[in-house]
Chain A
Amino acid sequence: MDKLLVSPSPHIHAAVSTRSVMRDVAIALCPAILVSVLYYGWSELLVLAVSVASCVLLEWAITRWLLRKPSTVGDLSAVVTGLLLAMNLPCTTPWWVVFIGAVVAIGVAKMSFGGLGQNVFNPALTGRVFLLLSFPVQMTDWTVPQGFLRNVDAVSGPTLLGKVNELGLAGVADVDYLQTLLLNIGGSAGEISALALLLGFGYLLVRRVVKPWIPLSIFATVALVSGIFHLASPEVYTGPLFNLLTGGLILGACFMATDYVTSPMNVWGGVIFGVGIGFIVMMIRYFGSYPEGVSFAILLMNMTVPLLNRAFHQKKFGRA
């Protein structure tokens, strides 16, 4: 080096970057993706590929031609959004519906707010909810296609939560909880295996990418609320274990509610955020017209994040 570098301190940096953080999230999603691809086969792979490709391409195109700024696809956040969006969709979703979801996720929820770090709502969830409201038929088609590891006749039918919503508790009288924990065929990729998701979340915890407070408070609230209702009238309301293990709760709590940008930064803010999500989820599941409410709950609580960030601050040194 012929000329010396000069800069203010510090002169070294931790081995962390936005890219490495996003890469870790993508890695953490891999077990669940693997399980879903093995069991849903090509159609799941297609949904994943279309979703990731359209999210990345859209972000690239928007930065290039609309914002005329250097491209930000290198930070891999679009990849994570694409993966999460795909994991929230039935594997039978037509490719053009997936693409519309990506347009809403990246174009509307993310880039129109100014890109990564500026969005108020979780992009993948926004895309998913838009599709749910616009294409109700495609979005609730839980046909199970031919997978790589499974060779049974295609079954079609509502998810466990859907059954409860339609038939009441009688619809899920014979639920095997071990089965729901390990492998819960029927539903979107993000619902298929609680264990795979928790494995990925464990990786995020070990890598110190996220902190456990938000998911823990969501789980605790869901368990508490459903516990109270279930105890009060067990023949009407499903119990805590059922509510924890079914639907998109684990995916939502571990991967969507912990999104840095749309969750509070402070521990206590995070706890309130999580309690809010857990409560809204249970209200929608028990009293709403939709069988599942995780997406709505997270999006609703996303709106409170600026307020929570304002209300809760770090404890300062030397100021009692």
Chain B
Amino acid sequence: MPTTIIWTIAILAGLGLLLSLVLYLVAAKFKVEEDPRIDEVEKVMPGANCGGCGFAGCRAFADAAVKAPNLDNNYCPVGGNEVMKQVAAILGFEVKEKAPQVAVLRCNGSCVNRPRTNVYDGAASCRVKAALYSGDTACSFGCLGCGDCVAACQFGALSMNPETGLPEVDQEKCTACGACVKACPKQLIELRPKGPRGMRMFVSCVNKDKGPAARKACSAACIGCGICAKTCQHGAIVVENNVAYIDPAKCKLCRECEAVCPTGAIHGVNFPKPLDKEAVKARIAERARKAKEAEAAAAKEKEENNG
């Protein structure tokens, strides 16, 4: 009996040694030399492998960053400026800081605002639905509500609100990787700067139909009336193809557009106080009156000068 045990141990041990030797030799033979900085960079990356940087994953990003002449074209939106500073330190590059961004849904067509005109009965996928037809409401631009964006989000930042039928962005979790932007077949999601203390303004609609058609389809649609553009003192709003767009770089967050919008398509978020529409409207009216007076005065002066 003892000899059996000894033999067994001896054979197994010998086999183990032999195989480990084979493993070692193979590993040594096929070893790939890599820049050690790739590992270092990868270590400071968020490790989500989300592809938001445009590369297949964090390792691919690290590889590209090490090989690139500078960091101008390589930016990790998830890690943001913090991570990029560390990457720059490892590689000895300078980093251009970017304003943190957040995903914003540009559709306000909730079940209440946008009545359903038919019932969709196909696969629960926005892509499939968009390829089939214009959607189950009269608005052919709006959210299809099947949640492709929610499925695309790796950070759990998106969720469908069963009450509105629209996805909601959790701005704390959103890393602006852009996966949802790519997933939405209607191009409704935009990455916009988070804004000071998260305050930002945007037009929550992309309906290009003419005013009456848009309004008939959805009570909260942008009807392209242009009142916001006329009111804006900073030239931040353009109306093109019957839909307004607020340039975040020019917007001064005065909320006047939000106050004058007749359909409520313009949204301001994270402001400390709720918008007092009447007060803002009064302010605009006061400014208009003053401008008129000034104009009148100027005209008068001109007349006097001429006379």
Partners in one complex: yes
Which residues on A are within 8 Å of B, measured CB to CB? 3-8
- Docked Cα-Cα span, A3 to B115, in Å, equals 11
In-complex Cβ contact of A3 among B118, B122, B123 (8 A): B118
Q: Apart from A5-B119, A8-B132, what are 17 other A-B pairs with CB-CB below 8 Å?
A: A3-B116, A3-B117, A4-B119, A5-B120, A5-B121, A6-B118, A6-B119, A6-B120, A6-B121, A6-B122, A6-B132, A6-B133, A6-B136, A7-B120, A7-B121, A7-B122, A8-B128
Q: How many A-B residue pairs have CB under 8 A?
A: 26
A8 contacts across to B, CB distance below 8 A: 122-123, 128, 132
Q: B122: which A residues are within 8 A, CB to CB? A: 6-8
Please report the total number of B residues contacting A with Cβ < 8 Å: 12
**Residues B129-159 near A (CB distance < 8 A):** 132-133, 136
Q: Which residues in A have their C-beta under 8 angstroms from that of B120?
A: 5-7
Enumerate chain B residues within 8 angstroms of A3, measured Cβ to Cβ.
Answer: 116-119
Q: How far is the CA of A5 from the CA of B119 in the complex (A)?
A: 5
Q: Which residue of A lies closest to B117 (CB)?
A: A3
Distance in angstroms from B144 CB to nearest chain A CB is 12
- In the bound complex, residues from chain B placing their C-beta under 8 Å from that of A5 are 118-121
Within 8 A of A (CB), among B97-126: 116-123
Listed by A's residue number, 24 A-B pairs whose Cβ atoms lie within 8 Å are A3-B116, A3-B117, A3-B118, A3-B119, A4-B118, A4-B119, A5-B118, A5-B119, A5-B120, A5-B121, A6-B118, A6-B119, A6-B121, A6-B122, A6-B133, A6-B136, A7-B120, A7-B121, A7-B122, A7-B132, A8-B122, A8-B123, A8-B128, A8-B132
A197 to B96, CA, bound (A): 76
Shortest beta-carbon distance, B202 to chain A, in Å?
31
Assembly CA distance A6 to B118 (angstroms): 7
Q: Chain A residue with minimal CB distance to B123?
A: A8
Among A3, A5, A7, the most chain B Cβ lie within 10 Å of the Cβ of: A7
Measured in the bound complex, the distance between the Cα atoms of B128 and A7 in whole Å is: 10
Determine the distance from Cα of A7 to Cα of B133 in the docked complex, in whole angstroms: 9
Shortest Cβ distance from residue B185 to the other chain A in the assembled complex, whole angstroms: 14
Closest 6 CB pairs of A and B: A7-B121, A7-B122, A4-B118, A8-B122, A5-B121, A6-B118
Query: Which residues from A are CB-within-8-Å of B128?
Result: 8
List residues of chain A with CB within 8 A of the CB of B117: 3
Please name all residues of chain A whose beta carbon is closer than 8 Å to the beta carbon of B132 when the two chains form the complex: 6-8
Most chain B CB neighbours (cut-off 10 Å) among A3, A4, A5, A6:
A6
Q: Which residues of chain B have C-beta atoms less than 8 A from A4's C-beta?
A: 118-119
What is the distance, in angstroms, from A164's C-beta to the closest C-beta of chain B? Answer: 33
B14-49 residues with Cβ-Cβ distance < 8 A to A are none
C-alpha spacing A215/B237, complex, angstroms: 73
Measured CB to CB, the closest approach of chain B to A301, in angstroms, equals: 29
What residues of chain A lie closer than 8 Å to B136, measured between beta carbons?
A: 6
- Shortest distance from the beta carbon of A163 to any chain B beta carbon, whole Å: 35
In the assembled complex, the CB of B52 is this many whole angstroms from the nearest CB of chain A, namely 30
Q: How far apart sit A3 and B132, CA to CA, in the bound complex (Å)?
A: 17
- Please, how many angstroms separate the alpha-carbon atoms of A62 and B133 in the complex? 40
CA distance A212 to B123 in the complex (A): 34
List the A side residues contacting B121 at CB < 8 Å: 5-7
* Nearest neighbor of B133 in chain A, beta-carbon distance: A6
